[in-house]
Amino acid sequence: MSDTKFDVIDTHCHLDFKNFNRDRDEVIQRGRKAGVTTMINSGIDLKTNRKSLELARRYDFVFATLGLNPNGLGETTDEEVEATLDQIRAHAKEIVGVGEAGLDYYRCPDERGRDRQREVFRKVVGLAEELDLPQVIHARLAEDEAFDVVKDLNKVVFHCYSGTVGTMKEALDRGFYISLATVVCRSAQHQVLARQVPLDRLLIETDSPFLSPRKGRNEPAYVLDGLHLIARIKGLPPEEVAEATTKNARKIFGL
């Protein structure tokens, strides 16, 4: 990979997670040194939403989205769901999106659990529409169904998209954005998606600390690994992909 630096945005990371407790500030500064000018930290529940807000207040280049991830809803009470929705509403002016939220059938094989995910996701989507904020979707083995829930929204990001090309094209036809994580560096499926998604609808992310393109923990600096591979796949200069994805992120998230 070239050492040339580009201004890029990591549109989805979890810098508040305990994986970064030992060296969080070093990781953030390492990302900045690599050319990551902006990081969007995604909350997944009440606790991580609070931490995401704290990070956004501490660093002027970190922005927060607040959400309610489908994984873990089995242990989440109705009262906690409503408290999370209230939390998002109360901090709407401090955030750049609602999410991550969605449907994850990979970890939820039973229909009762899936019904619960659908119920909560619809509530979150309704709130994103009410607040006129982008909906950041987490979907796994349920991309088509998640699309059906959000298809009438105007601002949607499919975070770490892993579905079919067909569903992706439906989402693109609605003007939605497709975010590809650094897993593209080691996944043939995601490389196919990278070839298909148009540059004006593409976002890049790490989903740190997960999906590392290298051995060990992922971090925002590694978003450049994904950028360079996507550029090679598309036969484009990496600076063109950097410029386009940064422009797209600023547009959808209002940065």
* Token code pair at residue 252: 């959808």
228: annotated binding-site residue?
Answer: no
pTM confidence score: 0.95
Under-70 pLDDT residues of the chain: 1-4
Structure tokens at 180: 């590809």
- In angstroms, the CA 138 to CA 160 distance is 7
- Please check whether residue 125 is in contact with residue 151, taking contact to mean a CB–CB distance below 8 angstroms: no
- Annotated ligand binding at 100? The verdict is yes
- Residue pLDDT, tens place only, 179-231: 999 999 999 999 999 999 999 999 999 999 999 999 999 999 999 999 999 99
Residue 34's nearest CA partner among 67, 5, 59, 1 is 5
The whole-number pLDDT of residue 74 equals 85
8-253 has CATH 3.60.20.10 classification: no
- Tell me: is residue 159 an annotated ligand-binding position: yes
The alpha carbon dihedral of 93, 150, 202, 164 has a sign of: positive
Q: What pLDDT is recorded for position 130?
A: 97
Asked if residue 146 lies in contact with residue 139, where contact means CB atoms within 8 angstroms, the answer is yes
Position 3 scores a pLDDT of 52
Which residues touch 78 (CB under 8 Å, ≥6 apart)? Answer: none
With H, G, I as helix, E, B as strand and everything else as coil, classify residue 28.
helix
Residue 238 tokens read as 């990496």
Whether 207 has a binding-site annotation, put simply, is yes
Q: Tokens 């923990």 appear where?
A: 217
CA distance 76 to 70: 10
pLDDT, tens only, 131-143: 999 999 999 999 9
CA 58 from centroid of its chain's CA atoms: 21
Domain limits, the chain? 8-253
